[in-house]
């Protein structure tokens, strides 16, 4: 049965809205309008978060003037109360007054949270509808993804123009739960649904394909109004959300943490350049079992596997290339006929850049770490004839890897008295989002070459230290792009556009560095929604 949609020109509203709605925030009306003017040029579907303003009512005349001058803009007015994840400290009556006046100030749609709608006296909601404005009734769950059908049944009696349901993805498969819900509602064209949280990115990109009327994206990075929200330009240009359809193949990078990975921008750029109908997502995988279920449910055609899953995933593969089997770690998974096949492109990404600068035959190498990337470095360099030493925080793990690869272990206090041809950092220390004390000090850098596999940030403390002592370096970008290019070729069967992949990664890293230098430290955490 189709949802009983009221006759407040729903067809007119639907003809105006685009697939992406951008929330506009600001501490003052002037700040809000400045941002709205900039965003509207590219994405004219805007949500004005009136709850971010100290006095929302006083802002409405200025917003009315803006909307009268920008007739291409379709505007949602939201004044979410603090109890429901917003910033508005007023009571329900004050919220309704703001939303009602928004209805006579040029706004096209108001967003009313379900809890407010359920608290209204009989007839109060109709007064809001009488302004001629369309209505979204929304529900946000900041804890989990639960009983979406039950929430729908609570919202349905209000006969809203749009039903908005926003849970939080605590696992990757919560996205599947949400998208299956949207698909079940395929005769209801007014469902808006997305998962919040780092694990919810899948729903933000694939939700429209499942049938969500539209989705939300931040004005810019740093202006997110919900956990896990993607910047509008990224959603449109990188993920090409307007082109994602039933034939679009889905790939992803899986690991923990994954938030700072540049694999999505690199791979999606390569797909666009080579006109491949595919999208590549960041998959925050806290459990391998969760990831494997997602791979078969979506389904996902291929994975770039990063820490800490490179070794654990081996047991779940139908077959691997000889290199992965030898190393005991896999960083590339291809799904064919429902089965998973493993490859290792890390080795070429590590030995290739080194051999451009020196021969590994007879070279003396130090590898820091003993995880998946370290195993690739150790086995790769051993195969090339290098004499490899391993230093790891857990000595037992280093000793096991040394036995398996025919290498040696070394203690930290022996480094200052030992010289190497190359030192390779295969630990995540100094990676963006990961804290930890530096593994090496200046006295330990008795080497001709330093290679840090960490690519984000652009310059790590280890590389900086090497530069200060005039030691040649290899940045992690070189390894990152090379291994990614081989993955692209495994996924698509096409030659990888390596130069374009390198260009976009360097550009993204420089932008991040500039943004970090300009952004002041946050003063307080606030709960956000959409």
78-135 pLDDT tens trace: 999 999 999 999 999 999 999 999 999 999 999 999 999 999 998 999 999 988 899 9
pLDDT band at 432 (very low <50, low <70, confident <90, very high): confident
**Which residues participate in the annotated binding site for NADP(+)?**
369-373, 453, 476
**Dihedral in degrees, nearest 10, Cα atoms 380, 386, 392, 397:** 60
- Under DSSP, is residue 478 helix (H, G, I), strand (E, B) or coil? helix
CB neighbours of 374 closer than 8 A, spacing ≥ 6? 367, 368, 390, 392, 401, 426, 427
pLDDT digits (tens, 9 = 90+) for 229-271: 999 999 999 999 999 999 999 999 999 988 889 999 999 999 9
pLDDT band at 2 (very low <50, low <70, confident <90, very high): very low
146 in catalytic set: no
Has residue 292 been placed in a domain? no
pLDDT digits (tens, 9 = 90+) for 319-333: 999 999 999 999 999
What's the pLDDT score for residue 458? 86
Which residue bears the tokens 């770490």?
369
pLDDT band at 288 (very low <50, low <70, confident <90, very high): very high
- Number of domains the chain contains: 2
What's the pLDDT score for residue 530? 58
Has residue 516 been placed in a domain? no
CB neighbours of 447 closer than 8 A, spacing ≥ 6? 366, 419, 420, 421, 422, 423, 471
Has residue 300 been placed in a domain? no
pLDDT band at 410 (very low <50, low <70, confident <90, very high): very high
Nearest to 380 by CA among 397, 400, 405, 359: 405
Least confident of 3-17, 296-310, 429-443: 3-17
Q: Are residues 240 and 375 in the same domain?
A: no
Q: Is the pLDDT of residue 379 over 60?
A: yes
User: CATH code at 402?
Assistant: 3.40.50.720
438 to 92, 177, 413, 447: CA distances (angstroms)? 53, 42, 14, 17
What's the pLDDT score for residue 337? 95
Q: Is the pLDDT of residue 273 over 80?
A: yes
What's the pLDDT score for residue 187? 83
| Residue pair 25/80 in contact by the 8 Å Cβ criterion | no
pLDDT band at 431 (very low <50, low <70, confident <90, very high): confident
Q: Are residues 362 and 242 in the same domain?
A: no
Average model confidence (pLDDT) across the chain:
93
What's the pLDDT score for residue 1? 35
What's the pLDDT score for residue 125? 94
249 in catalytic set: no
| Residue pair 442/469 in contact by the 8 Å Cβ criterion | yes
pLDDT band at 203 (very low <50, low <70, confident <90, very high): very high
316 in catalytic set: no
Rounded to 5°, angle at Cα 413 from 412 and 417: 110
Domain boundary among 471, 499, 522: 471
| Structure tokens, 61 | 């005349």
Q: Which of 188, 310, 384, 528 is catalytic?
A: 310
Has residue 481 been placed in a domain? no
Q: Are residues 180 and 55 in the same domain?
A: yes
Q: Are residues 175 and 35 in the same domain?
A: yes
Q: Which of 35, 87, 139, 140 is catalytic?
A: 140
What's the pLDDT score for residue 425? 97
Which residue bears the tokens 């509207």?
40
Domain boundary among 471, 488, 507: 471
Domain that holds residue 114: 16-246
**Which residues participate in the annotated binding site for shikimate?**
261-263, 306, 331, 346, 455, 483
**Dihedral in degrees, nearest 10, Cα atoms 387, 438, 285, 514:** -120
User: CATH code at 88?
Assistant: 3.20.20.70
Has residue 195 been placed in a domain? yes
Domain boundary among 185, 212, 246: 246
Q: Which of 164, 188, 249, 528 is catalytic?
A: 164
Q: Is the pLDDT of residue 521 over 80?
A: no
Q: Report the percent of the chain where pLDDT is more than 90.
A: 86
């Amino acid at each position: 049965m189709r949802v009983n949609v009221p006759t407040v020109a729903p067809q007119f509203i639907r003809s105006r809205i685009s697939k992406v709605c951008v929330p506009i925030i600001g501490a003052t009306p002037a700040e809000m309008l400045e941002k709205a003017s900039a965003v509207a040029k590219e994405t004219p579907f805007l949500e004005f978060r009136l709850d971010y303003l100290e006095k929302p009512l006083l802002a409405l005349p200025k917003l009315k003037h803006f909307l009268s001058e920008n007739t291409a803009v379709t505007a949602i007015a939201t004044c979410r109360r603090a109890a429901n994840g917003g910033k508005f400290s007023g009571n329900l009556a004050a919220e309704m007054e703001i939303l009602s006046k928004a209805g006579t100030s040029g706004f096209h749609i108001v967003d009313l949270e379900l809890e407010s709608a359920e608290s209204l006296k009989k007839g109060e909601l109709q007064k809001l509808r009488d302004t001629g404005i369309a209505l979204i009734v929304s529900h946000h769950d900041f804890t989990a993804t639960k009983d979406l059908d039950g929430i729908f049944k609570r919202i349905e009696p209000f006969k809203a123009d749009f039903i908005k349901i926003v849970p939080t993805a605590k696992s990757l498969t919560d996205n599947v739960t949400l998208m299956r819900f949207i698909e079940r509602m395929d005769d209801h064209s007014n469902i808006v649904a997305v998962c919040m949280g780092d694990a919810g990115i899948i729903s933000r990109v694939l939700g429209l394909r499942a049938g969500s009327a539209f989705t939300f994206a931040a004005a810019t990075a740093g202006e997110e109004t919900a956990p896990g929200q993607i910047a509008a330009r990224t959603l449109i240009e990188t993920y090409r959300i307007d082109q994602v359809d039933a034939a679009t193949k889905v790939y992803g990078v899986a690991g923990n943490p994954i938030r700072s990975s540049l694999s999505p921008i690199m791979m999606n750029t390569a797909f666009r350049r080579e006109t491949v109908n595919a999208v590549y997502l960041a998959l925050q995988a806290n459990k391998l079992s969760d990831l494997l279920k997602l791979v078969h449910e979506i389904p996902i055609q291929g994975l770039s596997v990063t820490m800490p899953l490179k070794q654990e995933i081996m047991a779940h593969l139908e077959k691997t290339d000889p290199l992965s089997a030898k190393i005991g770690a896999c960083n590339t998974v291809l799904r064919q006929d429902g089965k998973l096949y493993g490859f290792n492109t890390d080795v070429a990404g590590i030995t290739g850049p080194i051999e451009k600068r020196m021969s590994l035959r007879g070279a003396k190498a130090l590898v820091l770490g003993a995880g998946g990337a370290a195993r690739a470095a150790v086995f790769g360099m051993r195969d090339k004839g290098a004499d490899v030493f391993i230093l790891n925080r857990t000595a037992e793990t280093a000793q096991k890897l040394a036995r398996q690869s025919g290498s040696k272990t070394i203690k930290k206090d022996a480094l200052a008295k030992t010289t190497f041809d190359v030192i390779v950092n295969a630990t995540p220390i100094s990676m963006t989002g990961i804290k930890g004390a530096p593994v090496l000090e200046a006295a330990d850098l008795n080497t001709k070459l330093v290679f840090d596999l960490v690519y984000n940030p652009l310059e790590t403390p280890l590389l900086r230290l090497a530069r200060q002592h005039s030691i040649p370096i290899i940045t992690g970008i070189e390894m990152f792009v090379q291994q990614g290019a081989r993955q692209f070729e495994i996924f698509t069967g096409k030659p990888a556009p390596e130069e374009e992949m390198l260009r976009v990664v360097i550009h993204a890293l420089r932008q991040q560095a500039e943004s970090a230098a300009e952004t002041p430290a946050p003063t307080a955490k606030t709960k956000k929604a959409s």
